[in-house]
Amino acid sequence: METNRILIFATRLDQFYISSEKSELIEFIGATQINRLQKTDVYAFLGEEAGKQCLAVVDLFSRAVYKARTDSRSASLPYFRMANKELEILQADAYLFTRLFYASGWSFFYYLKGVYAKASAFTIEGLALSEHLEAKGAAFLGSRRLLDQLPNLSKILIHQGNAQDGYSLYNGILRALIYKDFTHLPGKWNKHMFDRDEYTRQQGIDNVVISATRLILANTSDDQEKLFYQILFRGIGYIDVSNDHLEVIERFITLKRSYFEHRNEAFLSQLEEFLTLSMDTYFDILKLSVIRNYLALSKIGTICEADQMEIKTNVTRYLNRHLHLLPSEQHLLPLLCKEFKLTNLSQSKAW
> Domain-by-domain residue ranges, the chain?
1-26+243-351, 39-139, 165-240
In one letter, which amino acid is 132?
H
Question: How many Å apart are CA 207 and CA 202, to the nearest integer?
Answer: 9
Say what the pLDDT of residue 40 is: 85
CB atoms closer than 10 angstroms to residue 324: 12
pLDDT tens for the 351 residues of the chain, in order: 333 444 444 444 444 333 333 444 444 444 434 455 778 889 999 999 999 999 999 989 988 998 888 888 899 999 999 999 999 999 999 999 999 999 999 999 999 999 999 999 999 999 999 999 999 999 999 999 999 899 999 999 999 999 999 999 999 998 898 888 999 999 999 999 888 877 678 777 767 876 787 777 667 776 777 788 778 877 775 443 344 445 555 555 555 555 555 556 666 666 666 655 554 444 444 455 555 555 555 555 555 666 666 666 666 665 665 555 555 555 555 555 555 554 554 444 443
What sections of the chain are H helices per DSSP?
Answer: 3-16, 24-32, 39-46, 48-70, 73-87, 92-113, 116-135, 141-144, 150-159, 163-179, 198-219, 222-233, 242-260, 264-276, 281-299, 305-322, 333-339
Contact of 156 with 113, CB cutoff 8 Å: no
Question: How many Å apart are CA 177 and CA 173, to the nearest integer?
Answer: 6
Q: Give how far Cα 120 sits from Cα of 108, 164, 215, Å.
A: 10, 16, 17
Question: How many Å apart are CA 217 and CA 266, to the nearest integer?
Answer: 20
Q: Does the predicted TM-score (pTM) go above 0.75?
A: no
Nearest Cα to Cα of residue 63 among 6, 101, 90 = 101
Nearest Cα to Cα of residue 24 among 15, 11, 35, 34 = 11
